[in-house]
Structure 1
Amino acid sequence: MAVAAVALAVGAGTGPLLAPDPARADTVRGLQWYLDSLKIPQAHKVTKGKGVTVAVIDTGVDPNLPDLRGQVLPGKGVTAGAAPDGRRDDDTRLAHGSAMAGIIASRGGGAMRHLGIAPEAKILPVSMGDSFNSGDLSEGIRWAADAGADVISMSVGAEAQPTPAEVAAVRYALDKDVVLVASAGNRKQGDRRVSSPANIPGVIAVTGLAKDGGHFAESVGGPEAVLAAPMEDIISPRPKSVSPNGYGLGSGTSDAAAITAGVAALVRAKYPDLDAANVANRLIRTARDKGPAGRDSQYGFGAIDPLAALTRSVPAVDAHPLLAGAATGAAPSAGAVDPAEDDGPAVSFSMKKGPGALIQAAFCLAVPLVLLIVVIVLVRRSRRKATAGPPGYSPSAGPLRYPPPGGPQAGPPGYPPPPGHPPAGAPGVPPHIPQFGTPGNPPTGGAPTGLPVPPQAGPPPGYGPMPTGGPDPYGVPPVPQADAWQPPGTAPTAPPPPPAPGGHQQ
């Protein structure tokens, strides 16, 4: 059932900025605290996202913003009344789509200009106007995938179960080799659990971090959380019609999702041969584990680490790590990464293409090798006995026979003596030679080479069908906060009431 169309709700904690004074430290670049926290300047020495296209499914994008000039490609309007090419922001209060596009791909150019996470990537706007329903979202995802998007950023959501059309659209985009990123949701807007489309398997659901690196209280969490990124006081470009100085601050998982989409663009630019599954795997495996060990409801697999994602060695996978039933997907374990490459805690994984596979291969090679050695030894012994004979044997005495009891054993190796003769292993009697895997000689003590049989790994924790519903996992009430997004000179208004069921900005 389609979600009813509703007006896009106000982003949490947004507000205009005073015109920056060059003589003050509060420059636009100075307010981009998250760039230094994420080591984006160092990451830009590796790549700036050139050649990558990021689709922004939102309210449209204004291509005339100074920080986005030349960055916005012709896109698509999927809602009646939206600009046919998506290059108009229909959110007349916040310019939400333009803000998200700026966080991803603003060009920068000095202390008074806004710098995006991937300033050389291009933006493909997919406009749902100022309201949307699940049909619009599904159409937007499919269109962006067909239009060549490498990454799809969705800072929208509805606290509801995804529709079959949305799930099918996400899988369609994954099959088209697209990385999908979505915001988890905001408590101020009434969200209590990870919203759709972030709760669809295969989508990177992003929760929010505060300036101190901890979980931001206004961000929702849940078992579908994948990564966490900064969301507190994120500055972004806005049209002058919305903010006279051309910038605004926001505190929402919308901003965290846009930052994560920008990092995904950097990874796709650095590793153009990686498919979407391995891009997601690289982001997950290089995240900084926070909170309880492994995947948790607040941070997912951890806080995103752009520089590590671009530079650390990460084993490849052949299935998407966020899809249930992935046979070789990344799974949390207690392992560790190379200390030379790590400057903090990180999630590591156990995969079938790791050391266990080497042990199994060595085991398979060792068995026939041992059998071959045993055969060679037996053949050489029988040849020596055929020419020289055992002690006490005379070739002229006829066929080989066992000597009287108490004498040396001269029978064929591996066979017991007749009744009345000493058993193998008695003084002066050659010991019995066990043959691994032959009848009557079952293997004992493991493989003949001493290699342990590798344990069989269980299903990766954190994957499988996503639990839904249930009470709020944290019991944290929404933080009351007046909406700061008011034109200069007007009194702030009370926070808007929780939105009706349906889609909204985040």
Structure 2
Amino acid sequence: MLTIVLNGCAIWQATTMPKQLQDRQIIVTLSEDKRSSWLAIDSELKQRYALQVVGEFPLTSIQVNCLVYRVPDNQSVSDVIAHLKTDQRIQLVQQNQVFAGLRSQAGDAYAALSYAPKMLGVDDAHQVSTGKGVSITVIDTGADKNHPDLKGQVEVTRNFVEGGEASFSQDKHGTAVLGVISARADDGVGIYGVAPDASIAIYKACWYEDANSRALCSSWTLAKALDAAINASSRVINLSLNGPADELLKQLITTAYQRNSVIVAAANEHSDQPGFPASMDKVIPVLAAGPDGHVAKPVWPSTLKLFAAPGIEILTTAPRDGYDFVSGSSLATAHVSGVAALMLQFKPELTPEQLRSALVSRKMVEKSELASVNACAALKRFGCSSRLSLNSTTVVHFFI
């Protein structure tokens, strides 16, 4: 059940999970070159496996049509998937998986309370770049775009969750991420974002089951949001979320990368794997660092080139005109997305791989693949103004 509370009173409730997050669902993709057979294939699959159609949507960026079925309770989901994988007419079949946001509960009025801008060298970087004109798509929950520090900062909002519009402006996770990236600067209100002049789109693909739960997304909702971001030619895609390996999302992220999008994703240091999509080599995977530069050592052996940015006790925006201290690699991811926008304003021709390489300011631990992120240092690599100072660079290291 989802409950929206205003001034201590429940103002909206939903007792059913959105259809995109319900269980026992599989996604079947059919390629464009088989369009003439789509209806016949659908009819045959429903009859042979007693499948119930619960959704259908195109992903034009990768030229497929997606059919979402519910597998009956008396059948094994894995067995049905195994059978469908032998059908040569089907491009891909997988379970509709669940992903979660990585947030733990924990000249602007509150700017002095935030260590992140200094740690990232943002104050100096803003002398030459504020992310102006760089498109960032935040794929997350909804967000309070009318918050005093966010009003006028969001150019596009879209909802990909059934019934998600009702709670869009009350969603905590997206509001927190948005504040880190794009809170207005020098307006005398609250905080300021890393890239306050970026062109922001927020796509709601995640949903709260109840007031105390994590934000949840699915393969279905994320695929539609990624497809929209690719078709909009977004330069930066922020994925402050994490979950199981997903072949459909992998195809979309690879396509986004090939079309020059920088994809930034949260890594999960508290799991036995970094999680997906952080594990992809096309993605910039980010861990959370604290104000003292410490990063929790992942429990998984690292074969990734990991990045660290402020993510512990970050002061950011909260729904209903509020502010809160929030922790998690979701916030660290948002910081890196903002830095990417600063770099792309200054040097628009950067490819995703060139930008990723330029983000590495120093190794943080001998023999580690963990690299700190500093906006000032990254911009100076491209011959940026000598006015920029590197005095704010913070050494980040594993906390063991």
Q: Same fold (TM over 0.5)?
A: yes
Determine whether 1:108 maps to 2:185: yes
Look up the match of 1:309. Answer: 378
Superposed CA offset, 1:262-299 (max 9, x none): 00000010101222222222213xx2210124x52xx2
CA RMSD of aligned residues (A): 3.0
Rounded to whole Å, the distance in 2 between the matches of 1:121 and 1:38 is 17
- CA distance in 1 between counterparts of 2:266 and 2:301 reads 11
Structure 2 distance, partners of 1:73, 1:83, is 17
Counterpart of 2:286 in structure 1 is: 206
Aligned to 2:199: 122
User: Shift of residue 228 of structure 1?
Assistant: 0.8
Distance 1:115 1:96 in 2: 17
Distance in 2 of aligned mates of 1:105 and 1:207: 20
Does structure 2 conserve the Cα–Cα contact (< 8 Å) formed by 1:30 and 1:111? no
For 1:178, give the aligned amino acid: S
- 5+ long unaligned stretches in structure 2: 1-93, 208-215, 384-388
| Residue among 224, 230, 237 paired with 2:310 | 230
Distance 1:77 1:10, change over 3 A: same
Does structure 1 conserve the Cα–Cα contact (< 8 Å) formed by 2:206 and 2:221? no
Paired-residue identity, %: 28
What do the CA deviations read for 1:431-470 (whole angstroms, capped 9, x no partner)? Answer: xxxxxxxxxxxxxxxxxxxxxxxxxxxxxxxxxxxxxxxx
Using a 3 Å threshold, how does the CA distance of structure 1 residues 220 and 120 change in structure 2: closer, same or farther? Answer: farther
TM-score by structure 1 length?
A: 0.53
Question: Once the 2 structures are TM-superposed, how far is the Cα of residue 114 of structure 1 from its aligned partner?
Answer: 1.2
Change (3 A) 1:345 1:122: closer
Structure with more of its chain in strand, by fraction: 2
Q: Is the 8 A contact 1:210 1:216 kept in 2?
A: no
Shift of 1:303: 0.4
Please give the alpha-carbon distance, in whole angstroms, between the structure 1 residues aligned to 2:325 and 2:130. Answer: 24
Change (3 A) 1:254 1:150: same
1:65 maps to which of 141, 147, 153? 147
C-alpha distance in 1 between matches for 2:248 and 2:298: 29
2: distance between equivalents of 1:3 and 1:123? 28
| Aligned counterparts, 1:333-348, within 5 A | none
Contact 2:149 2:189 in 1 (8 A): no
Distance 1:230 1:100 in 2: 12
- What residue is the counterpart of 1:34 in the other structure? 116
| Structure 1 residue 169: Cα displacement | 0.6
**Partner Cα separation in structure 1 for residue 394 and residue 191 of structure 2:** 31
Distance in 2 separating the partners of 1:98 and 1:281: 29
Aligned to 1:265: 341
Q: How does 1:176-325 map to 2 (within 5 A)?
A: 176-185=259-268, 187=270, 191-216=271-296, 222-240=302-320, 246-284=322-360, 287-293=361-367, 295-296=368-369, 299=370, 302-313=371-382
Is the aligned partner of 1:13 residue 2:105? yes
Paired position in structure 2 for 1:143? 228
TM-score, L = length of structure 2: 0.66
Deviation digits for residues 54-111 of structure 1, max 9, x if unmatched? Answer: 1000002221011111111223222222339xx92463xxx10111011001112256
The Cα shift of 1:197 comes to 1.3
In the aligned structure 2, how far is the partner of 1:89 from the partner of 1:165? 29
> SS of the counterpart of 1:197?
coil
**Cα distance, 1:221–1:47 mapped onto 2, change above 3 Å:** farther
Give the drift of 1:175. 1.4
Aligned partners of 1:145, 1:220: CA distance in 2, in Å?
Answer: 31
The 1:90–1:165 alpha-carbon spacing in structure 2 relative to 1, beyond 3 Å, is farther
CA contact (8 A) 2:101 2:241 kept: no
Classify 1:47/1:83 alpha carbon distance in 2 versus 1 (closer, same or farther; 3 Å): same
What secondary structure is seen at the aligned counterpart in 1 of 2:156? coil
Return the alpha-carbon distance in structure 1 between the equivalents of residues 181 and 301 of structure 2.
23
The structure number with the bigger radius of gyration is 1
Contact 1:233 1:250 in 2 (8 A): yes
Secondary structure of 2:225's aligned partner: helix
Deviation at 1:342, TM superposition (A): 7.6
Contact 2:239 2:265 in 1 (8 A): yes
Aligned counterparts of 1:220 and 1:105: Cα–Cα separation in 2: 32
CA–CA distance in 1 between the matches of 2:345 and 2:351? Answer: 12
Q: Deviations over 1:357-404 (max 9, x none)?
A: xxxxxxxxxxxxxxxxxxxxxxxxxxxxxxxxxxxxxxxxxxxxxxxx
Residue 468 of structure 1 is matched in structure 2 by: none
- Per residue, is there more helix in 1 or in 2? 2
Shift of 1:260: 0.3
Which amino acid letter does the alignment assign opposite residue 174 of structure 1? Y
Q: How many Å separate the matches in 1 of 2:316 and 2:252?
A: 29
Aligned residue identity for 1:288: R
Taking the aligned partners of 2:111 and 2:300, their CA distance within structure 1 comes to 28
Indicate the SS of the match to 1:30.
helix
Aligned residues: 291
3-state SS, counterpart of residue 303 of structure 1: strand
Secondary structure class of the residue paired with 1:119: coil
Taking a change above 3 Å as real, the CA distance of residues 164 and 5 of structure 1, as seen in their structure-2 partners, is closer
CA distance in 2, matches of 1:107, 1:219: 37
